[in-house]
Amino acid sequence: MSRRRMRRILVGVLLLAGMVEACEAQAPPAGSSGQPLRLTLKQAVQLALKQNPQVVVARLLALESGRQKEIARAALLPQASLLGATALEQYNFQSVERETKPRAAGPYQWIEAGPAFSQSVLDLPLIRNYQIGREGVLQSRAQEQVTREDITASVVLQYHLVLRAIAIRDAANARVALAERLSNLATNQQKTGVGLSIDATRAQVELQNERQNLIDAETQVHTTLYVLAELLDLPPDNDLEAADTLEFYELPTYDTTATITKALTTRPEMRSIESQQNIAALSRKSASEQRLPQLEFSGHWYYQGEHFSDAIPAYSYLLGLEIPVFTGGRIRAEVAQADLQQKEIDEKRKALEARIVREVKSAIEELESARSAVQVANLGLELSNEEVAQAQRRFAAGITTNVEVVQAQDALARANTNQIEALFRFNQSRANLARAMGEVENTYAK
């Protein structure tokens, strides 16, 4: 083997190894044996867009529309085929001539073989069908993007629900630990004679309540993860974990008018409805143009004879012209039907534009409200933690009973819930705004 050939093989192996490493780097981490699959929000969205059944079906439908366009285009292109036939025939002359007695003709043999062809010269409905097929591809691609946006929005929502459930569970864990400390404190106070029996009982009741809340929170984490795994189309034996947390981050302010204008341009639903309008207009033209003449050229060239040895060329060329004169009102009815479809799609577009405007306005309002709610909730949690600390010190000093402590614990639980809900609303309202603008995939998958 020459050195040049060995060098080419080595270079090819290195390039292949680099491509494999790049593919592995882009793929989300797969759960090893016995280990859960830990995904960030971005990885979860990417995985869903790769293997969610609805996304796969939408992709297949887009590919199918491409094949339909090719079928419509084929009718405009030249058609050619190779034909061959042979026969042994006999017939009665009485079937073609006036004779008193039957007289047989044959048997005789004939063969023919050669190409046949046809070409549409002028057929406007066929041209419109191709244009409709081409526009159908654009509509299918837009509809595929609608599905991708919907699935992305569903995954983002479910992932945020998982993060909320995890945050509630972690807060419940912290409150259980706090309740255990306070219960031990109340028990010790009772043993030393400083505290009352009802204080210890009250602390135990609060501890059991927090443990019950923790059980419910654990269940909520598991059930939300099951729904997320379904959206990602994971195997039944593959456990899932969320790698992100609910957090607050700075966002720019959004101008309502500019955002609505952008949404009306970028939403894939708008591109889909525009394609539907174009298809309806082309369908009307196709229906009305059926009244026009249609011109077609066809023919064949055969090698004909009794045997191949004595065959000679035979050909036929045909230029056909068809002019519809009376169709029983079919063309008029098809044109009227196309007009109704155009009006229906126009009304759907108006409804879609109104829905987009409403979704954008609502998302901006919810985002601004959630932004302020996070700040209020953070302050409330800080104050509730301080209240618990002060009540614990007062109870440990014997200044008061643990009623204040229990009340502070309840206030802390509400503050935890408020903060978690505020963070959830903030993160989800950002996703809702991205979906309203038609950019949820670009926001969370890129």
What domain range includes position 244?
36-80+123-444
Q: Count up the domains in the chain and report the number.
A: 1
Domain membership of residue 306 (yes or no) is: yes
Q: Which helix (H) or strand (E) holds 186?
A: helix 124-191
Instruction: Count Cα neighbours of 271 within 13 Å in the Cβ-side half-sphere.
Output: 19
Q: Are the beta carbons of 178 and 63 closer than 8 angstroms?
A: no
- Within a domain: 203: yes
Q: Which helix (H) or strand (E) holds 258?
A: helix 256-266
In a domain, 399, yes or no: yes
Overall residue count recorded for the chain in this entry = 446
- What count of other Cβ atoms lies within 10 Å of the Cβ of residue 413? 18
CATH assignment of the domain containing 153: 1.20.1600.10
* CA-only gyration radius of the chain, Å: 38
Q: pLDDT tens digits, residue range 189-237? A: 888 877 788 888 888 998 999 899 999 999 999 999 999 999 999 998 8
What average pLDDT score do residues 296-300 get? Answer: 91
- Distance CA(283)–CA(329), nearest Å, equals 17
Q: What is the pLDDT of residue 370?
A: 93
Which stretch of 88-97, 169-178, 362-371 has the lowest confidence by average pLDDT? Answer: 88-97
Query: How is residue 183 written in tokens?
Result: 């219960």
Query: Which residue blocks in 1-113 are alpha helix, DSSP H?
Result: 3-26, 41-51, 53-74
In angstroms, the CA 332 to CA 53 distance is 42
> How many whole angstroms separate alpha carbon 260 and alpha carbon 350?
14
Give the per-residue pLDDT at 31: 53
Q: Which residues pair with 416 in a beta bridge?
A: none
- CA–CA separation, 131 and 308 (whole Å): 46
Considering the domain boundaries, does residue 116 fall inside one?
no
Tokens 């509509």: give the residue: 139
pLDDT one-digit tens code per residue, 16-67: 444 434 444 444 555 555 688 999 999 999 999 999 999 999 999 999 999 9
In contact, 415 and 373? CB cutoff 8 Å? no
CB 353 within 8 A of CB 346: no
Residue 22 lies in a domain: no
Give the rounded percent of residues in the chain with a pLDDT score beyond 70: 92
State the pLDDT confidence band at 7, using cuts at 50, 70 and 90.
low
Q: Is residue 303 part of a domain?
A: yes
- Give me the pLDDT at residue 196, please: 82
Q: What is the mean pLDDT of residues 61-74?
A: 91
Instruction: Please report whether residue 19 resides in a domain.
Output: no
Q: How far is CA 333 from CA 61, 183, 346, in A?
A: 30, 83, 20
> Residue 420's pLDDT is what?
93
Q: Is the dihedral of CA 172, 175, 179, 180 positive or negative?
A: positive
Structural tokens at position 365: 């309002």
Q: Is residue 90 part of a domain?
A: no
